[in-house]
Amino acid sequence: MMTHQITLIPGDGIGPEVAAATVRAVDATGAVIEWDPVEAGARALAEQGQLIPDDVFASLEVTRVGLKGPTTTPVGGGHRSINVALRMKLGLYVNFRPIRMLPGLQTRFSDLPLDLAIFRENTEDLYSGLEHEVVPGVVESLKIITEKASTRIARAAFEYARRESRRKVTAIHKANIMKMSDGLFLKCCREVASAFPEIQYNELIVDNACMQLVMRPETFDLLVMPNLYGDIISDLAAGLVGGLGIVPGANLGDHHAIFEAVHGTAPDIAGKGVANPTALMQSAVLMLAHLGEREAAGRLQKAIRHVYEAGEHLTGDVGGKASTTGFTDAVIRHL
C-alpha cells in the first residue's frame, strides 16, 4: 500500500478544528498518509513573524500536495491574501469547485439535480494585484489576461469534461464591454473548444450567467471563466447547495495541488467545537482522488452523504445540534 506525504496547513479560527476532524476521517479510510503540519496565516505571523513561513514552501516542495484550512485575509488593507500568494508562487492555475447537493439539506433548490463543475483561472486577471494611485483620489487597478493562462484553463476544463463525460462547457465573460481582455479569453476558449467537437460549447455574459444560475441552475454543466468572475460565481453556486460550509475546493497546477475549504475562519465560533468540517472533508475527497486513492475517496464521500441523509449528527449551521466531533464520529462509523 502506497504511503502519501501531505502538507497540512490548519489555518486560523476554526481551521485547526476542521483540519483535525478531516485528518481523522481521512485516516479512517485506510489510505496511508504521513501528515506534515505547518502553520500559515495570522497564527504564523504572530508566532514566527511571517504569514507564510519558509517551512510551508519547503514542505510543499517535498509533498507536492497540501490540505489547507481557512486563513485570515484583512479587508481594505493589510497583508495580501495567503490563498492568492500560494496560487501565484506554486503556479496553481486551476481553481476547481464541484457543486453538488448533499441529501437531506433543505435549500430552495433541493429538488433539482444540481451537478455543476466550475473551472476558474487562478493566477491573473485583477488578482494580479497591480494597483497604483494615479493622482490623489484616483486609483488604477490593472486587469491582466494572457493567451497562455486563458488557453490552459480552457484546456483543463475541456479535458475534464471529456474525461468525466460532461456534455456542455459554458465560457463566462464580459467581452461586450472589455473587448480586448475578455475578448482574448473567449478567443482562447473557442480555439480549445474546436478540438473537442463532441462537447457542446456556449458563452454567457457574466451578469446574465448569474441570473440564469439563480433561475435555472439545472441547465448548467461545466463553467469556465477568468479569475474575478470565478470567485463570485463559485460562491454564488455554493449558495445553491447550502453555502460555503459544504462545498470543496481544489487548486491545481502542473507540479503542486492544494485542497482547501473555501469558507472563512469564523472567529465567533472558533474553539467552541461546533464548526462544520464538511467543506474540508469534501476537499479531502478530491485530494484522495488526486492521489489515486479513488476507493478511499469514494468511501469518504459516501460516508458524508450517509450522515447528511440520516440527519441525526449534523452541525448547527445545517440545522442539526451535533458538535464537530459528533459529526466526525458519525462519518467514521459509516466508513
Distance CA 187, CA 278 (A): 38
Q: Is 75 exposed, middle or buried (0-12, 13-18, 19+ CB in 10 A)?
A: exposed
Q: Which of 77, 105, 88 has the alpha carbon at shortest distance from 314?
A: 105
The residue from 127, 201, 229, 308 that is catalytic is 127
- At which residue does the C-alpha cell 497564527 appear? 43
Tell me how far apart the terminal alpha carbons of the chain are, to the nearest angstrom: 19
The residue from 12, 125, 182, 231 that is catalytic is 231
**What are the two backbone dihedrals, phi and then psi, of residue 222, each rounded to the nearest 5 degrees?**
-125, 135
Known catalytic membership, residue 268? no
Burial string for 201-210 (b: 16+ CB within 10 Å, else e) reads: beebebeebb
Known catalytic membership, residue 168? no
Known catalytic membership, residue 229? no
State the cell numbers at 103.
441529501
Q: Is 136 exposed, middle or buried (0-12, 13-18, 19+ CB in 10 A)?
A: exposed
CB 119 within 8 A of CB 229: no
The residue from 12, 36, 125, 174 that is catalytic is 174
Q: Which residues pair with 225 in a beta bridge?
A: 120
Known catalytic membership, residue 54? no
The residue from 207, 254, 272, 321 that is catalytic is 207
In the chain, where do the E strands start and end? 3-9, 32-37, 65-68, 94-100, 115-121, 131-135, 138-141, 168-173, 200-205, 222-225, 248-252, 257-261
CA distances from 160 to 98, 210, 259 (A): 12, 23, 17
CB 157 within 8 A of CB 194: no
Residues recognised as catalytic: 127, 174, 207, 231
